[in-house]
Amino acid sequence: MRKSLHSIHILASALAILVSGTVLAQPIQDGGFEPTPGQPGKDVVWVPTPYSTLDKMLEMAKVTPRDFVMDLGSGDGRMVIAAAKRGARAQGVEYNPDLVALSTRNAAAEGVSDRARFVQGDMYEADISQATVLALFLLPENLRKLVPKFLQLPAGTRILNNGYKIPDWQEVETGTAGGDCEPWCTVHLYLVPAKVEGTWRLPAGEVNFTQDFQTLKGVLAAGGRMQQVEGTVKGDQIRFTAGLDVYTGRVSGNRMSGEASGATGGHWSATRK
Ligand SMILES: C[S@@+](CC[C@H](N)C(=O)[O-])C[C@H]1O[C@@H](n2cnc3c(N)ncnc32)[C@H](O)[C@@H]1O
């Protein structure tokens, strides 16, 4: 399978530092298979997320025992195991069977086998529909290919990626791991946006939204007037302006409601037409 020079170049540039021992704070002492940072993978090489970065990722995601955390390309299992240690159910999908076996042994050694599961498979084929959090370390080209799957997830699902941004998406937060973490210490958090494209009935009239990931544009037809609408959706939170009026609220399936300021101030609600 194709693995771009870009990926090899960028991840290999981290390799020199990784193998110097500064990041692998807990080297793998498995007695069996030992992965080597930079070793080939199906669509991206293996480089582990530093422990301080994965802690930052799970902290930014506010992972709780109610979550189901998935890592696509789960490597030695460290992200999944860390999530399980926070009480969450977690699953890794990893193509390399040796890494899957190692992850399974690591989870047992850490006493979290009941909550940390690993499956051998291709991340592009994986069922991610139950995930409430995706905690990833993938390249932009991997993320781009996964975007259609991401957009199928419920509004508000948290997606974090170590290092790289999801192309064309707008992060809600960027964080940096503390301590002497270097490299791969910057994390981007995204929320899957509610799907609001289409026509909605507001008390003031009808609004037609077009949606490009988080960005909304549209027209509000009210009282014989047409007003340009601009807005954003972050998870299930919506905000849009129509003339001088500002609408903020929450989207829940085919309904949205909230508060408006300006001439139409007060509570508002809308239903999908
Ligand atoms: C950059 S490493 C990240 C490892 C781990 N997520 C972490 O943060 O430490 C990427 C991992 O993806 C795996 N991988 C590459 N292509 C894959 C694919 N198509 N499906 C599943 N795993 C894949 C590699 O074997 C490697 O372990």
Residues 129-140 pLDDT 10s: 999 999 999 999
Separation of 170 CA from ligand 1 center, angstroms? Answer: 24
> How far is ligand 1, taken at its centre, from the CA of residue 75, in Å?
5
C-alpha distances (whole Å) from 53 to each of 44, 49, 114 are 19, 6, 24
Q: Are 82 and 107 in contact (CB under 8 A)?
A: no
**What atom of ligand 1 comes closest to residue 41's alpha carbon?**
25
State the distance from the centre of ligand 1 to the C-alpha of 71, rounded, in angstroms: 9
Going from the Cα of 93 to the center of ligand 1, the distance in angstroms, rounded, reads 8
What lines the ligand 1 site, CB under 6 Å? 41-44, 46-49, 71, 73-75, 78-79, 93-96, 99, 122-124, 137
Ligand 1 atom nearest residue 93's Cα: 21
Q: Given this model, what pLDDT does residue 25 score?
A: 38
Nearest CA to ligand 1 atom 12: 73
pLDDT recorded at residue 31: 58
Q: For ligand 1, atom 19, which residue shows the shortest CA distance? A: 122
Q: Give the other-Cβ count within 10 Å of 225's Cβ.
A: 11
Which regions in the chain score pLDDT beneath 50?
A: 1-29
Handedness of CA 235, 241, 247, 248 (dihedral sign): positive
Q: In the chain, where does DSSP find H-type helix?
A: 5-18, 51-60, 78-85, 97-109, 140-150
Mutate to test the pocket of ligand 1, among 39, 56, 96 (most ligand atoms within 8 A of CB): 96
Span from the CA of 178 to the centroid of ligand 1 (angstroms): 24
- State pLDDT tens for residues 16-27: 333 333 333 344
Distance CA 96, CA 73 (A): 9
- In Å, how far are 80, 135, 237 from 86, measured between CA atoms? 10, 14, 27
Q: How far apart are the C-alpha atoms of 109 and 124, rounded to whole Å?
A: 29
Which of 65, 186, 77, 47 is closest to 133 using CA atoms?
65
Nearest CA to ligand 1 atom 6: 74
8 A C-beta contact, residue 173 and residue 165: no
| 98 C-alpha to ligand 1 centroid (Å) | 12
Return the SS3 of 249.
Answer: strand
Atom 2 of ligand 1, residue of closest alpha carbon: 46
pLDDT of amino acid 223: 85
C-alpha to C-alpha distance for 244 and 137, rounded to whole angstroms: 42
